[in-house]
């Protein structure tokens, strides 16, 4: 701030007035952002356009649809079974998200506020999971879960997803709890509160943003998980919406408007949740990445 | 155990204090100290689930990789034979080459776009960034199956790409891009670029907010042009963000199963096979569970090596 426009550096040139580069930048910034946004949006347009075309219409690309044929959505929902697929995904998310947030909070609480031998080692052990790809767990998961009758059930998938979400959640809640003032915990302890009471009576009520962010991230990851449901659930009645979509596209000659409508149905819940909690989601992805 | 009982919350902040100094006041002031068992109870659900359904399966994969197994009959011990095959088999080597190529599209291009975009935008005060971020993050939220379907239509015979080419009088070049031996990998790679570029830009923009505007002003006083500014200020100061972007995007490139599965399935021929696709094919259809496992182990080792290297880079930041 101290370097003003009349500073000594000026003699060397360029700094005086907004030079040509400066002006270009001032116009350039919105142009760059507009280009980025257009690039994001354009691929969605053929999808949205195709979803409202009359049944049987071939692909039309960027042209405006002829009319507004919402019966594709009814067809995808009922005939192609995406209504029940969606329900299946909702059930799985309703089990995975709260349980994951709960267990991750417990773990993060212990890691952030308690001293015990091996704490750093347990934390490092959990963090390792952030780099374990699904590819390396899915083969035995399939054979082992099948052996105990947990393939083709939602429960098997739910357990596997909760487990896969633990490393990030424990990490996230640990860094959240360690930012909370220790005086809060100490005061509660002096009042004779148990560690359980401290967590649920003192810390959690003051953790709404962190918990919401974790919940939103978990929901998006759970909804979008593809490889696990594809392999662990072969029964079409138990499948998730994205896995169902994967199978649906693989079938013979799928009607373009019908497939488009089905895709919109599968995308809609997760996009709505995102739009509603966008700040939480973006903060979660950025903070989660940077703190790691 | 002893260490636990003695180090109270007061001591927690200064673990480096010599033990004697810490022991006396802590022991006097803290009559009751939560034993480790309480902490372990809190950790138990997370650690147990994670161990049972992530770590043990991963180790089991390592074990399976030492056998020839079709998934049905009795496995037979193969030693390191599967690993030899991973490095010798041309199809498996092709998958490795494709994964490496995808890193260019998933990591290098988005980071370049993000850096240039951030540099062009960062110098100027912005309004409405909330909306911009919302749009740019959208590809992070849409399931990759749906992304694949959308882009299949973008690349189709009558898709957007060919429409644009025909409008520009380049109709000759129009083709079904994902069905082309020459173009499919590039086409799939650009989908990855689309998915992560917005994330990179937003990540870098949030990083530039950390950079003091005075640095830019000072460099401009000294007559530094935009290119100079980019190379000697923006890029070095964004090193932590670049390392983070690298680790996110490289993992996305190496684990690109969803996208490939829904766009090309590895084809045409084997021109877009990646490790994930081969693991899926070999283990759940190809009757080569051991080989698939070995490939999965190698993939994991590569990911671990990359993540560890990048973590070190992040920590080294001054």
Prediction ipTM score: 0.87
Q: Tell if the CB–CB gap between B117 and A167 is shorter than 8 Å.
A: no
Q: Tell if the CB–CB gap between B214 and A2 is shorter than 8 Å.
A: yes
- CB of B119 within 8 A of CB of B207? no
Burial pattern B239-269, b for ≥16 Cβ within 10 A else e, equals: ebbbbbbbbbbbbbbbbbbbbbbbbbebbee
Q: Tell if the CB–CB gap between A135 and B296 is shorter than 8 Å.
A: yes
Q: Which residues, numbered 31 to 50 in chain B, qualify as contacts with chain A under a Cβ-Cβ cut-off of 8 Å?
A: 34-36, 38-40, 42-43, 45-47, 49-50
Chain B residue numbers touching A33 (CB-CB < 8 A): 117, 121, 126, 132
Q: Where in chain A is the domain with CATH 1.10.3720.10?
A: 83-242+266-291
* Nearest in space to B102 (alpha carbons), one of B279, B264, B313, B231: B264
Whether residue B114 lies within 8 A of chain A, CB to CB, comes out as no
Chain B residue numbers touching A249 (CB-CB < 8 A): 145, 148-149, 262
Q: Tell if the CB–CB gap between B158 and A59 is shorter than 8 Å.
A: yes
Give the CA distances from residue A67 to residues A48, A49, A50, A53, A154, in Å, rounded to whole numbers and listed in that order.
Answer: 12, 10, 11, 7, 40
Omega before residue B268 within 30° of 0, cis: yes
Q: Tell if the CB–CB gap between A3 and B218 is shorter than 8 Å.
A: yes
* Nearest in space to B238 (alpha carbons), one of B99, B119, B138: B119
pLDDT of residue A17: 54
Decide yes or no: CATH 1.10.3720.10 for domain A83-242+266-291: yes
pLDDT of residue B125: 60
Q: Which residues, numbered 251 to 310 in chain B, qualify as contacts with chain A under a Cβ-Cβ cut-off of 8 Å?
A: 251, 254-255, 257-258, 261-262, 275-276, 279-280, 283-284, 289, 292-293, 296-297, 299-300, 303-304, 307
Rounded Cα distance between B198 and A138, Å, is 30
Chain A residue numbers touching B60 (CB-CB < 8 A): 140, 144
Q: Which of A11, A102, A115 is the best substitution to test chain B (most B C-beta atoms within 10 A)?
A: A115
Which residues, given as ranges, of chain B have pLDDT below 50? 1-32, 318
Chain A residue numbers touching B276 (CB-CB < 8 A): 135, 227
- Which pLDDT tens digit goes with each residue over A92-123? 999 999 999 999 999 999 999 998 888 999 99
- Which pLDDT tens digit goes with each residue over A57-104? 777 777 777 778 888 888 888 888 899 999 999 999 999 999 999 999
Rounded Cα distance between A200 and B315, Å, is 34
pLDDT of residue A139: 95
Element (H, E) at B76: strand B76-77
Sequence ranges of the domains in chain B? 1-33, 81-315
CA A161 to chain centre: 13
Which residues, given as ranges, of chain A have pLDDT below 50? 1-16
Q: Tell if the CB–CB gap between A61 and B159 is shorter than 8 Å.
A: yes
Nearest to A116 among B36, B47, B143 (CB): B36
pLDDT of residue B286: 82
pLDDT of residue B25: 47
pLDDT of residue B28: 46
**Chain B residue closest in CA terms to A234:** B284
> Does the reported pTM lie above 0.80?
yes
Helices (H), chain A: 20-41, 44-51, 71-74, 82-113, 119-128, 138-147, 154-177, 182-190, 195-197, 208-224, 227-232, 241-250, 256-276, 278-291
Rounded Cα distance between B138 and A41, Å, is 9
pLDDT of residue A292: 55
Nearest to A29 among B53, B120, B151 (CB): B120
* Nearest in space to A25 (alpha carbons), one of B157, B126, B76, B249: B126
B81-315 adopts what CATH topology? Answer: MetI-like fold (1.10.3720)
Q: Which residues, numbered 73 to 112 in chain B, qualify as contacts with chain A under a Cβ-Cβ cut-off of 8 Å?
A: none
Q: Tell if the CB–CB gap between A226 and B257 is shorter than 8 Å.
A: yes
């Amino acid at each position: 701030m101290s370097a003003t426009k009349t500073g000594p550096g000026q003699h060397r040139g360029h700094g005086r007035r907004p030079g040509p580069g400066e002006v270009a930048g001032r116009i350039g910034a919105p142009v760059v952002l507009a280009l980025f946004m257009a690039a994001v949006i354009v691929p969605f347009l053929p999808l949205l356009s195709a979803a409202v075309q009359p049944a049987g219409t071939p692909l039309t690309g960027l042209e405006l649809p002829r009319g507004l044929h919402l019966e594709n959505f009814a067809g995808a929902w009922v005939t192609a079974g995406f209504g029940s697929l969606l329900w299946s995904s909702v059930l799985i998310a309703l089990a995975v998200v709260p349980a994951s947030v709960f267990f991750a909070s417990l773990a993060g609480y212990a890691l952030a506020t308690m001293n015990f031998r091996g704490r750093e080692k347990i934390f490092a052990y959990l963090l390792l999971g952030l780099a374990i790809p699904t590819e390396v767990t899915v083969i035995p998961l399939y054979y082992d879960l099948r052996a105990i009758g947990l393939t083709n059930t939602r429960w098997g998938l739910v357990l596997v997803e909760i487990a896969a979400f633990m490393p990030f959640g424990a990490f996230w809640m640990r860094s959240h709890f360690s930012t909370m003032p220790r005086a809060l915990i100490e005061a509660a302890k002096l009042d004779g509160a148990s560690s359980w009471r401290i967590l649920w009576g003192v810390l959690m009520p003051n953790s709404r943003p962190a918990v919401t962010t974790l919940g939103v991230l978990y929901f998006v990851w759970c909804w979008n998980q593809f490889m696990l449901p594809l392999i662990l659930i072969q029964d079409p009645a138990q499948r998730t919406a994205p896995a169902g979509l994967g199978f649906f596209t693989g079938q013979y000659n799928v009607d373009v408007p019908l497939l488009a409508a089905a895709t919109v149905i599968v995308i809609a819940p997760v996009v709505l949740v995102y739009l509603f909690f966008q700040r939480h989601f973006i903060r979660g992805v950025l903070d989660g990445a940077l703190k790691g | 155990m002893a260490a636990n009982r003695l180090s109270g919350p007061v001591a927690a902040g200064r673990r480096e204090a010599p033990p004697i100094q810490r022991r006396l006041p802590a022991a006097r002031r803290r009559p009751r100290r939560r034993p480790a068992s309480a902490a372990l109870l809190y950790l138990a659900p997370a650690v147990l689930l994670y161990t049972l359904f992530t770590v043990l399966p991963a180790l089991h994969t390592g074990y399976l990789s030492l056998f020839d197994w079709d998934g049905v009959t009795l496995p037979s011990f193969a030693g390191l034979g599967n690993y030899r095959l991973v490095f010798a088999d041309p199809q498996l080597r092709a998958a490795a080459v494709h994964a490496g190529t995808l890193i260019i599209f998933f990591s290098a291009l988005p980071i370049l776009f993000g850096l240039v975009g951030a540099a062009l935008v960062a110098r100027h005060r912005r309004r409405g960034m909330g909306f911009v971020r919302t749009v740019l993050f959208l590809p992070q939220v849409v399931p990759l199956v749906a992304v694949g379907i959308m882009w299949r239509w973008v690349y189709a015979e009558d898709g957007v790409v060919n429409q644009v080419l025909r409008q520009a009088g380049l109709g000759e070049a129009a083709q079904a891009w994902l069905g082309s031996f020459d173009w499919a990998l590039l086409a799939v790679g650009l989908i990855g670029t689309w998915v992560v570029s917005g994330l990179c830009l937003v990540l870098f923009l949030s990083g530039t907010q950390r950079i003091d505007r005075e640095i830019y002003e000072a460099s401009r006083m000294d007559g530094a042009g935009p290119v100079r500014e980019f190379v000697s200020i923006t890029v070095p100061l964004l090193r932590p963000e670049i390392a983070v972007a690298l680790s996110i995007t490289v993992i996305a490139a190496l684990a690109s199963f969803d996208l490939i599965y829904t766009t090309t399935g590895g084809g045409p021929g084997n021109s877009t096979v990646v490790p994930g696709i081969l693991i899926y094919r070999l283990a759940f259809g190809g009757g080569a569970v051991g080989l698939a496992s070995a490939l999965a182990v190698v993939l994991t080792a590569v990911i671990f090596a990359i993540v560890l290297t990048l973590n070190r880079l992040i920590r080294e930041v001054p």
